[in-house]
């Protein structure tokens, strides 16, 4: 199975071969071929049918993961989407409008059957749910723990949630999330930590503002997110740079891990004249996993 990284995940409309061809060479950690919001209702069947051949063609050594965002369960389209794309070469499914851990388990059962039919190793296809697009999703965030074996990470979204609650905007005049969406973002981060999986920040809509994107990404990394969704090719390089740990940070993380491995009986060790303990070890391992893949 491919080691998954979540520094940058770029949405690509599933009905555009041209955009897919361009996206493959941008350096994103993952491409999310989108069958949901990026595809008009009348084009969904054709987009779905074309994805199988694209996955087959991409089933070669590559340094990015192939994700597909299927349509939500309440559309009645999810199972047809899955039947078209679960095949060797697919790394993961993004599940929109997830209402809780039960939706991940439901999707897992479908994947079990489809992987078997496709001759794939059980558990190959991972799941990345968008966990804050409905009010029910917010109330059920604790249900992602303990994590389903297929659960790869959690991410959040604000646009659908704003529509459901009837908000006229989800950001203030200063460009920052208003209180309901700051809450959703924070709860996603805590839910991911509770389930012991990475948290991926939501998209930054203004693709013409690289400076604002980079500043926002650095805040997200500071807070604990390991990467970000991207909506435009121009965002990938900026996101990668902002979420990439420095060599000094990686060196320190490796030395912390090595020190505890050499002294497994200790709960505290000395590094560079400072005492580090188990929380520092967990953070070091998390940082290394974000670079080396989970």
pLDDT tens for 47-100 read: 999 999 999 999 888 999 999 999 999 999 999 999 999 999 999 999 999 999
Domain match, 201 and 255 both: no
Domain match, 114 and 253 both: no
Three-state secondary structure readout of the chain: CCCCCCCEEEEEECCCHHHHHHHCCCCCCEEEEECCCCCCHHHHHHHHHHHHHHHHHCCCCCCCEEEEECCCHHHCCHHHHHHHHCCCCCCEEEECCCCCHHHHHHHHHHHHHHHHHHCCCCCCCEEEEECCCCHHHHHCHHHHCCCCCCECCEECCCHHHHHHHCCCCCECCCCCECHHHHHHHHHHHHHHHHHCCCEEECCCCCCCCHHHHHHHHHHHHHHCCCEEEECCCHHHHHHHHHHCCCHHHHHHHHHHHHHHHHCCCCCEEEECCEEEEHHHHHHHHHHHHHHHCC
Residue 264: what pLDDT?
87
Assigned domain for 134 exists: yes
Residue 292: what pLDDT?
74
Domain match, 158 and 236 both: yes
Domain match, 194 and 73 both: yes
Domain match, 147 and 273 both: no
Structural domain for 280, as ranges: 249-288
Domain match, 72 and 151 both: yes
Q: What is the mean pLDDT of residues 103-107?
A: 98
Assigned domain for 23 exists: yes
Domain match, 138 and 259 both: no
Domain match, 235 and 261 both: no
**Looking at residue 45, which CATH number applies to its domain?**
3.20.20.60
- pLDDT range class, residue 246, cuts 50, 70, 90: confident
Q: How many domains does the chain have?
A: 2
Domain match, 149 and 283 both: no
Domain match, 51 and 87 both: yes
């Amino acid at each position: 199975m491919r080691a998954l990284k979540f520094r940058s995940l770029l949405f690509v409309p599933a009905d555009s071969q041209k955009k897919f061809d361009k996206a493959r060479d941008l350096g994103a950690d993952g491409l999310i071929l989108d069958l949901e919001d990026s595809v008009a209702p009348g084009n969904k069947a054709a987009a779905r049918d074309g994805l199988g051949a694209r996955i087959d063609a991409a089933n070669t050594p590559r340094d990015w993961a192939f994700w597909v965002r299927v349509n939500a369960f309440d559309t009645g389209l999810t199972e047809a989407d899955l039947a078209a794309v679960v095949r060797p070469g697919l790394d993961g499914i993004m599940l929109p409008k997830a209402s809780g851990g039960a939706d991940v388990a439901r999707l897992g059962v479908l994947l079990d059957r489809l992987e078997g039919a496709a001759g794939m190793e059980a558990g190959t296809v991972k799941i990345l749910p968008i966990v804050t697009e409905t009010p029910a999703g917010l109330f059920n965030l604790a249900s992602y723990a303990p994590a389903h074996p297929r659960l790869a990470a959690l991410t959040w979204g604000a646009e659908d949630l704003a529509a459901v609650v009837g908000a006229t905007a989800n950001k203030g005049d200063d460009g920052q999330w208003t209180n309901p969406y700051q809450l959703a973002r924070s709860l996603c981060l805590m839910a991911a930590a509770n389930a012991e999986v990475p948290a991926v920040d939501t998209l930054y809509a203004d693709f013409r503002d690289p400076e604002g994107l980079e500043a926002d990404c650095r805040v997200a990394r500071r807070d604990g997110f390991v990467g970000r969704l991207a909506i435009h090719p121009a965002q990938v390089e900026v996101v990668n740079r902002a979420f990439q740990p420095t060599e000094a940070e990686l060196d320190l993380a490796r030395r912390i891990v090595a020190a505890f491995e050499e002294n497994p009986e200790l709960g505290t060790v000395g590094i560079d004249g400072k005492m580090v303990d188990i929380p520092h070890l967990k953070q070091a391992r998390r940082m290394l996993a974000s670079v080396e893949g989970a």
